[in-house]
Every structure is written in C-alpha cells, then in structure tokens.
Amino acid sequence: MSGEQTPPAPVVVLDHPLVQHKLTRLRQATTSTAGFRRLTREISLLMAYEATRDLKLEAVEIETPLERMEGHLLSGKKLCLVSILRAGNGILDGMLDLLPAARVGHIGLFRDHATLEPVEYYMKLPDDIGERVCIVVDPMLATGHSAAAAIDRLKGAGARHVVFVCLLAAPEGVAFLSRAHPDVKIITCAIDRGLDDHGYIRPGLGDAGDRLFGTK
C-alpha cells in the first residue's frame, strides 16, 4: 500500500557470555595493542555467526564414507565483507578466518572533528555487489553518520541486502542509522550510555583504530 513506512530492521545485541567476557577485556585501558587486536579478532568470529544467520541454503547430494545423503550448502553468490577504514579491518580479519571465500570491499571515511560529519577518501567494491549479502563492519556506531554514508554508497553501487556489524553502539547512532536505513539489521555487542560532547561513545573503549594499530 502506498504511503506505508518500512518497519525498522531489528537491532541484535549479542549477550552471549563469551562475547561479554571478551568485550569487557577490550574495554580495559590496560589491555595491550596485541591483546586488543586478538580479542577483536575472536569477537569477530562470534559476531559472524549472527551476521550470517539468514543466508540461504540449497540441498545437495553428497557421498559420505558410508553412504549417500542429502546435505546443505550455501546457495548462489554469497557474501561481501565491507570494511569501513581503517578500524573496520580489525573485525574484517576475524570474519575472514571464518568466511575465507567472501569477497571484500573497502570504504575509506574519516570524521571531521569540527562537524562530526564523514568525509570519504576511498572506495573499492566487487563488481557483483548487488548479488551478494553485504556485511559492513566498523568497531563503533557512534553518531551513525559514517555508517549511514557508507551504506548510502553501497546501495548506490547496487547493494540490496546489507547488515551492519559493530562492537559497540550508542543510542544516538542506532537511532540515526535506523532512520536512514530502516532495512539494515544492526548487530552489536553492547549499546552504551551515549555520546560525549566530542562524539565519543561513553563508557566505550577508546579509539578502536588507535588501540588496534598502536597509534594512540
């Protein structure tokens, strides 16, 4: 019916004990660069399970060592993991451990510290992005502007099914991204209290890029 609004996609908070344990370790200021990188990779594997929950399967006949049976394999063209540079690469690496056949795209954005608006400086995507489920990864969903801008560019390139995955989200970012792209499911490990005057998530875990790459 014309005039109907698309209902917002679900926001999934992963409350699994392993996820929450590793997230708490990530938050600690005393966690080293190597530890932060390792924990991010481990959490990424766990988030990938949820992000791929709705992939389609097709029945196939296979031969086990004992008999023939009907099994199931992923159907058609499958995934594209899209990292929002640079910090998204910390999640990307972990997901590729689980999904080595996935195509990979990159979108380079930085946040203007005066306006808090995203500025794009790079984009490279597979040609067949419209035929794949796109999992966009970035450690933080703060204001939501960068995530929304990245998904704008993805949809402009033909993407039709997009999921957004992050370690932490602020309520402001969830609300902004849900308004901008109500069809995009958000998967996160926690929704924190909110943003400070500089647009950082509180209590948060600091600057994820600096902590991943040792540039703080």
Mark the binding-site residues for uracil, compressed into ranges.
201, 206-208
Mark the binding-site residues, compressed into ranges.
86, 111, 138-146, 201, 206-208
30 is catalytic: no
210 is catalytic: yes
Give the SS3 label for residue 137. strand
Catalytic residue among 115, 179, 202, 215: 115
Catalytic residue among 93, 111, 152, 153: 111
Mark the binding-site residues for 5-phospho-alpha-D-ribose 1-diphosphate, compressed into ranges.
86, 111, 138-146, 207
Query: Which three-class secondary structure string do you get for 28-55?
Result: CCCCCHHHHHHHHHHHHHHHHHHHCCCC
Element (H, E) at 110: strand 103-111
Q: Which residues pair with 162 in a beta bridge?
A: 134
207 is catalytic: yes
| Structure tokens given for 93 | 């690496």
Give the SS3 label for residue 207. coil
111 is catalytic: yes
Active site (catalytic) residues = 111, 115, 207, 210
